Structure 1
Amino acid sequence: MNDRYEILSVIGSGSYGIVYLCNDLKSNEKRVVKQLRPSKRRSKKEVELFESEISVLRTLNHKNMPRIYESFSNNKYFFYVMSFIEGDNLEDQIFHDKKTFNEKESLLILDNLLELVDYLHKKNIYHRDLRIPNIILKNNEPFLIDFGLSEQRAAADPFQTSSCSSQNKQESILQEMKQQDYYDLGEILLYLLYTSYSSKNKKALPWTEELSLEKGTVYLLKRLLQIKEPYSSISEISADLHAVLKEKEKVH
């Protein structure tokens, strides 16, 4: 591949792209190469989305996120190369390795994820696909991968001459994308909490009844999942999260 990357295996495949684990023949290091699925390469929209993903990755400089090295095309096949983050994703650890997380462990992972999402949001990047397959857990530290659905959008400039309605629309879209990331964090937390739950009832009950959680954790989840008033900022989420962790320290 590009006379430089030797394919070792396919490590991911979806409707949008194919992900290969490769050996970089120049540096003799493992790299991840993502290819836009050949069936999508003739679609201008799909190529633009792929280029947008590359653009987002180029703005990242965080040890818990992939680093992009280069992008290239061969005969109108599109590729980019990024760092290889070794480890299993959360989905595999939970469902294949049967790894469990207690309430405190789950909250600590959320705390680390909040830091990553805060980093993105400060760069006006919204991940929009925060799910357990897109989180690699290594030494209990989460690494965020797969920026295929991510979007980078600057906030509306109030000094521009555009109409008030278009500014309001832009702000509304940004708020929706931010809330989507918060909601996804709530879903991840719920997944983690359920790993240490063993069902005693034949009838499925709502999580509020099935899980025995601190009041603060229930409140946190309800706001993340928009059952109660949604959070408006990472700092607000963080404050509630640290309050719960402090309570748990007192109890134990």
Structure 2
Amino acid sequence: MLRPIRRAYQFVMDHPIKDGQCIHQRYLIKELLGAGSYGIVYLCEDLQTQDCKVVKQLRPSKRKMKKELQLFEKEKSLIQKLDHPHMPKFYEDFTENGNLFFVMSFIEGDNLDEAIFSKQISFHEQEALQFVSKLLSLVEYLHQRNIYHLDLRIPNIIIQKNEPYVIDFGLAKEVIDHEVAKEMKLQDFYDFGDILLYLLYTTYPAKKKKALPWTEELSLQQETVYLLKRLLQITSPYTTIEDIGIDFDKAMKANE
């Protein structure tokens, strides 16, 4: 009985702010970008600078829940530590009518999910390797700062002029403990394999009589197969980004 009551409460409390409303006497809401487990995200016009910003709001129904409040504050704290042109930039936080918000830069472009499934963008083997290799350098930047994204899915990668941008740090963690960090590295590395497979399948004919393993469906250079198997932890997993980078270089050279 408790769950339906909670859902009803959330339905009543968590209505997104309507387009055209202004918050903090500065941010004019243009559209709802999305809603997650603890946050609501808006695309806004900054009336002071006339450019677009992203404003994230803690769901009103979660304001008194310790776990969700901590997640919101943790995400805000991590974004404040980022200083990379291919990641969100933090601007400010504020409270209005008891609601918590923070503001970050808007990264224009399609996420990979939209690019692949709505706009039918395709990547040949070399193009897929080059794109994910660039993504590798972004994650290396994070790992050097003890930050682990832990949610490197195609909706969280923006593509702009064939360059990757990383967004959505809602599940990211900052970890100093070496042993704990090892497991988180493996998760980010595994996500590289998933993303690379998605890109490689964009040139695969959709209609086939039998569903086969990717090793049989995709015609790839052996260097790419070796790379994917290690990223996906089918064979001995990678433990360092440096080793992944070396094998990306080998796979790209094999495709020249």
- Superposed pair shares fold, TM > 0.5: yes
Which secondary structure state, in structure 2, belongs to the residue aligned with residue 31 of structure 1?
strand
Residue 149 of structure 2 corresponds to which residue in structure 1?
127
CA contact (8 A) 2:79 2:90 kept: yes
1:187 paired to 2:194: yes
CA contact (8 A) 2:134 2:164 kept: yes
Instruction: State the 1:200 CA deviation.
Output: 5.8
Instruction: State the 1:73 CA deviation.
Output: 1.6
Residue 72 of structure 1 corresponds to which residue in structure 2?
94
Residue 162 of structure 1 corresponds to which residue in structure 2?
none
Number of aligned residue pairs: give it: 234
- 2:40 counterpart letter in structure 1: I
Residue 17 of structure 2 corresponds to which residue in structure 1?
none
CA contact (8 A) 2:150 2:184 kept: yes
1:241 paired to 2:218: no
Task: Please give the residue correspondences for 1:190-229 in structure 2 after superposition, counting only pairs within 5 Å.
Answer: 190-199=197-206, 201-229=208-236
State the superposition RMSD in angstroms: 1.0
Identity over aligned pairs, percent: 57
Residue 180 of structure 2 corresponds to which residue in structure 1?
173
Instruction: State the 1:172 CA deviation.
Output: 2.9
Instruction: State the 1:247 CA deviation.
Output: 1.8
Instruction: State the 1:16 CA deviation.
Output: 2.0
Residue 80 of structure 2 corresponds to which residue in structure 1?
58
For residues 110 and 206 of structure 2, the distance between their equivalents in structure 1, rounded to whole angstroms, comes to: 26
Instruction: State the 1:103 CA deviation.
Output: 0.3
For residues 201 and 142 of structure 1, the distance between their equivalents in structure 2, rounded to whole angstroms, comes to: 31
Structure 1 runs of 4+ off > 2 angstroms?
none
Task: Please give the residue correspondences for 1:35-184 in structure 2 after superposition, counting only pairs within 5 Å.
Answer: 35-155=57-177, 171-184=178-191
CA contact (8 A) 2:150 2:187 kept: yes
Which secondary structure state, in structure 2, belongs to the residue aligned with residue 82 of structure 1?
strand
Residue 231 of structure 1 corresponds to which residue in structure 2?
238
For residues 129 and 112 of structure 2, the distance between their equivalents in structure 1, rounded to whole angstroms, comes to: 15
CA contact (8 A) 2:148 2:185 kept: yes
In structure 1, runs of 5+ residues without a counterpart are 156-170
- 2:115 counterpart letter in structure 1: Q
Residue-by-residue CA offset, 1:35-64 (whole Å, 9 max, x unaligned):
111121110111111111011001100000
Residue 50 of structure 2 corresponds to which residue in structure 1?
28
Which secondary structure state, in structure 2, belongs to the residue aligned with residue 71 of structure 1?
strand
Which secondary structure state, in structure 2, belongs to the residue aligned with residue 191 of structure 1?
helix
Residue 26 of structure 2 corresponds to which residue in structure 1?
4
TM-score of the superposition, structure 1-length normalised?
0.91
Residue-by-residue CA offset, 1:5-60 (whole Å, 9 max, x unaligned):
11011011222211101011111111110111112111011111111101100110
Instruction: State the 1:212 CA deviation.
Output: 0.3
For residues 47 and 77 of structure 1, the distance between their equivalents in structure 2, rounded to whole angstroms, comes to: 11
- 1:28 counterpart letter in structure 2: Q
For residues 139 and 155 of structure 2, the distance between their equivalents in structure 1, rounded to whole angstroms, comes to: 16
- 1:176 counterpart letter in structure 2: E
CA 1:30 to 1:221, structure 2 compared with 1: closer, same or farther past 3 Å? same
- 1:187 counterpart letter in structure 2: D
For residues 8 and 87 of structure 1, the distance between their equivalents in structure 2, rounded to whole angstroms, comes to: 16
For residues 41 and 118 of structure 2, the distance between their equivalents in structure 1, rounded to whole angstroms, comes to: 21
